[in-house]
Amino acid sequence: MDWITDFLADWYLVTKSLHVVSVISWMAGLFYLPRLYVYHAEQIELGSRTDKMFQTMERRLLRGIMNPAMTATWIFGLALVFTPGVVDWSFVWPWVKAACVLAMTWFHHWLGYRRKDFLAGANTRSGYTYRVMNEVPTVLMLVIVFAVITRF
C-alpha cells in the first residue's frame, strides 16, 4: 500500500489543481441551474417551445457539466483526503468542510429532482423558492473556503 501513498504524495499538486478546477465547474452549475429554474417557473408557459428549450438547457447543464464536475470533485477531494499529511482530522475544519460538501451534494440532487418536476410539468415551487435556494451554494462555499484557508 506504500505505492498508493507515494503516488498520491507525488501527484499532490496535480490532484489539488484538478480538485479546484472541478469545484469551480460544479459551483458554476450550482449557481446557474437555480437561476434557470427561477425564469422557468415565473415566465415560461407549460408545453411551449420555450419550455422545451429550458428543459434541454437544464438537462445539458445538469448531466453534461454538473454531474461530471461533482463526480470529479469527489474523486479528487477523496484523493486529497488520503494523501499523507494533507488532512488532520483532529482539527474542526475538515469536519466542517465534509459536512458542507455533503450538504452541497444534497443540494445538487435536490436540483436534479426539481428538473424532473419541470420535465413532468409538475413544478409546484415558485420563482421565489428557487431564488432563496440559489443562496445555499453561496453560503456553503463561504463556509468551506474559510474553513480550509483558516484551518480552525
Domains of the chain: total: 1
Would you state the pLDDT for residue 5?
82
Tell me how crowded residue 69 is: count the other CB atoms within 10 A of its CB.
21
Closest among 101, 135, 110, 111 to 23, alpha carbons compared: 101
C-alpha grid cell for residue 118?
419541470
Rounded CA separation 32/78 (Å): 26
Question: Whole domain around residue 20: which residue ranges?
Answer: 2-150
Query: What was the pLDDT predicted at 1?
Result: 67
Quick: pLDDT tens for 83-127: 999 999 999 999 999 999 999 999 999 999 999 999 999 999 999
> How far apart (Å, rounded) are the C-alpha atoms in residues 85 and 81?
9
**Alpha carbon distance 134, 107 (integer Å):** 10
